[in-house]
Amino acid sequence: MSVNSPGTGAKRVRLSPADRREQLITLGVRMLREKALHDISVGDIAERAGISRGLLFHYFPTLQEFQLAVVRHANAEMLARTTPDHTLPLPEMLRDAVCRYVDYVSDNRTSYLALLRGPASADPDLAALVDATRGAVADRVLDAAPITLDDADLPRLRLAVRGWIAFAEETTLSWLRTATVSRDQLIDLLVESLPALAGHPELTAALGG
Amino acid sequence: MSVNSPGTGAKRVRLSPADRREQLITLGVRMLREKALHDISVGDIAERAGISRGLLFHYFPTLQEFQLAVVRHANAEMLARTTPDHTLPLPEMLRDAVCRYVDYVSDNRTSYLALLRGPASADPDLAALVDATRGAVADRVLDAAPITLDDADLPRLRLAVRGWIAFAEETTLSWLRTATVSRDQLIDLLVESLPALAGHPELTAALGG
């Protein structure tokens, strides 16, 4: 290893390009747990990965591209952690997914808060990714709901579900900050609020409301 | 008037310092209807007010101070436009305030979207102002609600109301963008969702739910 090898004596491992890219993104997501996206510098990432800034830019020609990849990965992780378990009856499926959402947000509070409320939330490209993730969650809810796609009430229901997602994000982030209610009370609120907001008789009945 | 007088031949009027300050803030709020807060430059404002940049900085030593004053004013305007009419019975009071909120957002879509979702939403000081406004709306709802302040359920109810505000903001902004439901459907959704979310028997009964 040359005397110019970057930084810290981190062990250098020869990775395939795809693996190196993956490693850098995973590192970025992990760093997001400690600092906001916009506080992560190119130098930080290169040092933690034990590679040169030049090599980092080989994989991500701009910091913006790296940020987009990290946010895409963080969103995918949230969606993976909260995948509905379709073997459960509908009311339990909802409660189970909500529990895992609350745990995901608790485990990733810094990064989740940064994505939803930090400077990234105002960057149009990053905001579009977060918005697409909300759309994916809304689709999951509407797919699981006992309604047909030509339901005349679908536009109103879609709007209500989007609103419910904003409700869930706000109450969960607020709960993390203030802890004025217990985790169980928060989960009850999130589970009960979906049929309450949807105001759709079949959905309410299917959720046992 | 000297040849150095700024810009456009706008009529110069001698105003008291307080009136001038007020005039500049009103101008900033009006400009917010056309462009986002962060796209408004010191030069724009001075030119529109027909004053020099130096005089503008006499009133607002930094652009940040001007922005804070404009956001404070815009928030106060929203709260004034949506003041509950306490002469109405509770269900009508809610519907009436919701109608005026939807009209306020429709009239100020650019500035409201910029405040809630634009770069300003990530500036800690500006975000704190918007958050305080949400707190004021939540207090109005809780003050009007037929509950006593030592109600053991108050922390949960406060969290639910904060969530309902996020629900109202998201559905109203989404409705402005997509117009997939009618204004009346949106208003019904907002009015009916509050007692449904609150899950508080006295409140639901008082709202005729």
Flag the least confident range among A163-167, B98-102, B117-121: B117-121
A57 plus A150 within the same structural domain: no
Please, what is the average pLDDT of chain B? 85
Among A71, A67, A27, smallest CA distance to A46 is for A27
Instruction: Please check the confidence at residue B121 and state whether its pLDDT lies above 80.
Output: no
How far apart (Å, rounded) are the C-alpha atoms in residues B67 and B81? 21
B115 plus B40 within the same structural domain: no
How far apart (Å, rounded) are the C-alpha atoms in residues B200 and B189? 18
* pLDDT given for residue B185 in this prediction: 95
pLDDT in tens, A149-180: 777 888 999 999 999 999 999 999 999 988 89
B120, B37 Cβ separation under 8 angstroms? yes
One-letter amino acid at A118 equals: G
Q: For testing the chain A interface, which of B37, B154, B170 should be mutated: the one with the most A CBs within 10 Å?
A: B170
In a domain, B5, yes or no: no
How far apart (Å, rounded) are the C-alpha atoms in residues B206 and B156? 18
In a domain, B12, yes or no: no
A79 plus A58 within the same structural domain: no
Confidence of residue B113 (pLDDT cuts 50, 70, 90): confident
A44 plus A109 within the same structural domain: no
How far apart (Å, rounded) are the C-alpha atoms in residues B104 and A26? 44
One-letter amino acid at A152 equals: A
B169 plus B199 within the same structural domain: yes
* CB-based contact A159 B167, cutoff 8 Å: no
B36 plus B116 within the same structural domain: no
For A8, phi then psi, to 5°, come to -105, 5
Which H helix or E strand runs over A170?
helix A154-178
C-alpha distances (whole Å) from B82 to each of B137, B140, B159, B166 are: 9, 10, 21, 16
Q: Kindly state the percentage of chain B with pLDDT values over 70.
A: 90
Could you count the other beta carbons within 10 Å of the beta carbon of residue A48? 17
pLDDT in tens, B129-175: 889 999 999 999 998 887 776 778 889 999 999 999 999 999 999 99
More confident residue, B106 or A206: B106
B101 plus B180 within the same structural domain: yes
A74 plus A126 within the same structural domain: yes
Output Rg (C-alpha) for chain B, integer angstroms: 20
* pLDDT given for residue A11 in this prediction: 57
How many separate domains does chain B show? 2
For B149, phi then psi, to 5°, come to -70, -20
* pLDDT given for residue B12 in this prediction: 60
Range of the domain at A131: 68-206
A90 plus A160 within the same structural domain: yes
Q: For testing the chain A interface, which of B197, B204, B207 should be mutated: the one with the most A CBs within 10 Å?
A: B197
- The CATH number of whichever domain residue B43 belongs to comes to 1.10.10.60
* pLDDT given for residue A30 in this prediction: 85
Number of H helices, E strands in chain A: 10, 0
In sign, the C-alpha dihedral spanning A180, A182, A134, A77 is positive
* pLDDT given for residue B96 in this prediction: 97
Q: Kindly state the percentage of chain A with pLDDT values over 70.
A: 91
More confident residue, A33 or B1: A33
Among B202, B76, B81, smallest CA distance to B144 is for B202
Number of H helices, E strands in chain B: 10, 0
Q: What is the DSSP letter of B85?
A: -
Instruction: Please check the confidence at residue A4 and state whether its pLDDT lies above 70.
Output: no
A95, A187 Cβ separation under 8 angstroms? yes
Confidence of residue A2 (pLDDT cuts 50, 70, 90): very low
In a domain, B9, yes or no: no
Flag the least confident range among A127-131, A183-187, B33-37, B181-185: B33-37
* CB-based contact A117 B122, cutoff 8 Å: yes
* pLDDT given for residue A193 in this prediction: 92
In a domain, A135, yes or no: yes
Q: What would the two tokens of residue A16 be?
A: 């395939």
Flag the least confident range among A40-44, A48-52, B54-58: A40-44
Which residues from chain A sit within 8 angstroms of residue B127, using beta carbons?
117
Side-chain-facing half-sphere of B155: CA atoms under 13 Å: 11
In a domain, B6, yes or no: no
How far apart (Å, rounded) are the C-alpha atoms in residues A114 and A33? 9
* pLDDT given for residue A3 in this prediction: 42
A88 plus A165 within the same structural domain: yes
Residue-wise burial string across A92-103, b where 16 or more C-beta atoms lie within 10 A, e elsewhere: ebbbbbbbbbbe
Confidence of residue B13 (pLDDT cuts 50, 70, 90): low
Instruction: Please check the confidence at residue B8 and state whether its pLDDT lies above 60.
Output: no
How far apart (Å, rounded) are the C-alpha atoms in residues A121 and A28? 17
* CB-based contact B163 A174, cutoff 8 Å: yes
DSSP annotation string for A84-114: --TTS-HHHHHHHHHHHHHHHHHHTHHHHHH
B94 plus B194 within the same structural domain: yes
Instruction: Please check the confidence at residue A136 and state whether its pLDDT lies above 70.
Output: yes
One-letter amino acid at A160 equals: A
Nearest CA in chain B to A182: B156
- Give the ipTM: 0.85
A105 plus A152 within the same structural domain: yes
Flag the least confident range among A35-44, B14-23, B67-76, B96-105: A35-44
* pLDDT given for residue B158 in this prediction: 92
Confidence of residue A91 (pLDDT cuts 50, 70, 90): very high
* CB-based contact A193 B189, cutoff 8 Å: no
* pLDDT given for residue A13 in this prediction: 65
In a domain, A164, yes or no: yes
How far apart (Å, rounded) are the C-alpha atoms in residues B36 and B49? 18
Instruction: Please check the confidence at residue B42 and state whether its pLDDT lies above 90.
Output: no
Among the partner residues B159, B169, B197, nearest to A180 by beta-carbon distance: B159
